[in-house]
Structure 1
Amino acid sequence: MAFGITRDELYLWKASVENGQIAFLTHYWLDDRFPGCKTVTKVGCSNLEKLIEWGHKYALKEEWIDHKEAYPHFDLFGKHEYEIMKEEGLLDQLNKFK
């Protein structure tokens, strides 16, 4: 469940994904399987080829794409989340949750 974001932020992310753009959405996230992680960044794109190519840039495997929802995406968390967001120039999106 996403929390810490507005409905407008979620709708904007979904619209960007639907339009074939690489879109980022960071929100609070708690999962006992990942102690110490309190956020997740969803990197989505409806153009799977484009999403896979983007993932290769960061050594993310195609099989890690979450297809359960109507919005294919990678889930980034922990050290990988920080490093990728830094490289993408999007630390402000991550830092708002610290």
Structure 2
Amino acid sequence: MAFGVTRAELEAWKRKVAGGEVAYLTHYWYEPRFPGVNTVTKVGCGDLDRLADWCMRFGLNPAYIHERRPYPHFDLIGAKQIEILRLEGQWEQLKRFGLA
């Protein structure tokens, strides 16, 4: 379940993903398998080849892409999430969710 994003933000992310853009959406998250992790960034792209290339660019395994149509995405958590958000200039998301 996602917390901390507006419907408008979610809809904008969906439009970008459906349009083949690489899009970032960070939200609060609770998953008991990951204690101490309270945010996730969904990096989505409707073009699976482009999303796989994005994964490889950051040393991530494309096998972990969630191929959920129409919004395939890769979940970023922890230190890698922060590292990639910084490299991609996602400053608003870093600040907003206390990751900066």
- Give the alignment's TM-score, normalised by structure 2: 0.93
Asked whether the equivalents of residues 45 and 51 of structure 1 are also in contact (C-alpha less than 8 Å), the reply is yes
Query: Residue deviations 1:49-81, cap 9 Å, x none?
Result: 111001101111111101245311000010010
Structure 1, unpaired ranges of 5+:
none
Corresponding residue for residue 72 of structure 1: 72
Are residues 1:43 and 2:43 paired?
yes
Using the alignment, how far apart are the partners of 2:40 and 2:94 within structure 1?
A: 9
Amino acid at match of 1:58: F
Residue 28 of structure 2 corresponds to 28
Question: Quick check: 1:44–1:73 contact (8 Å CA) kept in 2?
Answer: yes
The number of equivalent residue pairs is 98
Partner residue in 2 for 1:16: 16
* C-alpha contact 2:18 2:70 (8 A) present in aligned 1: no
Name the % identity: 49
TM-score of the superposition, structure 1-length normalised? Answer: 0.95
Question: Contact between 1:30 and 1:39, CA under 8 Å: does it hold in 2?
Answer: yes
SS at match of 2:3: coil
Q: C-alpha separation between the residues in 2 aligned to 1:69 and 1:3?
A: 22
Aligned mates of 1:18, 1:79 — CA distance in 2? 28
- Mean Cα deviation higher: 1-10 or 62-71: 62-71
CA RMSD of aligned residues (A): 1.0
Question: 4+ residue runs of structure 1 moved beyond 4 angstroms?
Answer: none
Structure 2 residues without counterparts, runs of 5 or longer:
none
